[in-house]
Amino acid sequence: MIFADNLYCCFHSIDLSRLIGNTLKQHLTSITKKELIMKREQRETTENTYNNYSIMTDKERGLSCNTEILREIERQFDYAENSKSKVFFMRYDVRIPEGMYIEDNKTFRDFQANFIKNLSRQGLKPQYIAVREQSKEKHQHYHVALLLDGQKTQSIHNHIQTAERLWDSALGLKPRENGYGLIDDCTTSRTGDKQINGVMLRPDDLDMEKKKDDCFRRASYLAKTTTKGNAPKWKREVFSSRIPRKND
């Protein structure tokens, strides 16, 4: 009888431990989820400006920007302005053809490294920030903002052509006269309207601040939070040029 009572107490304590363990686990999971939500909210903004720059948000529609990406965009803009007498800003998007599946970022990173190397050889002092985006049902694409030395370039045309050729090569596609249209030159908006791509930022331009604000706003498209977070686990979604330290 004593043995039975002890056995009951043993099983009862095991069940109780499991119950406490499961309850604690659920509680910790709940805390973790709340912390993740809070951290995500801290990294997002629906305000229409960031450090006095206009950004692409819409509070009523719940469209937000990631502040960490905005911070990196600002760092690249500040360094470009301090290291170049004139800055040429441009955008391009990089797409993967239908039917081709590439899970990681290696192909894009190799292409981007080659493109930046090509621009550097021309003395264009390139800086960039790029993001990977991916809706749940489609493969990824990339958005890129590029800052060049405005003393040595004033048109996007040759750069887009070079990017097209290098991206086709990175994908292993056979050379074709007009490429495959996988580099979007961002001269047409999502609504189909024509838009300027390639803006010169000069300190002696009376409209400099207005143009810079417009460029930052266009770059902030990279910081939009929709279609992010869908990359496979441990795959990066943000890439940018290294900014030298002051003592480098």
For residue 176 the two structure tokens come to: 């074709």
Quote the pLDDT of residue 168: 97
| Dist. CA 104–CA 212, nearest whole Å | 33
The answer to whether the predicted template modeling score (pTM) of the entire model surpasses 0.85 is no
SS3 116: helix
Is the C-alpha dihedral spanning 229, 232, 235, 240 positive or negative? negative
For residue 220 the two structure tokens come to: 């902030």
pLDDT band at 247 (very low <50, low <70, confident <90, very high): low
Quote the pLDDT of residue 31: 43
Quote the pLDDT of residue 245: 79
For residue 38 the two structure tokens come to: 């809070």
Question: Which has the minimum average pLDDT: 9-13, 95-99, 151-155, 184-188?
Answer: 9-13
Mean pLDDT value across residues 173-199: 91
Mean pLDDT value across residues 24-47: 58
Task: Identify residue 76 by its one-letter amino acid code.
Answer: Q
Question: Which has the minimum average pLDDT: 55-64, 65-74, 200-209?
Answer: 55-64
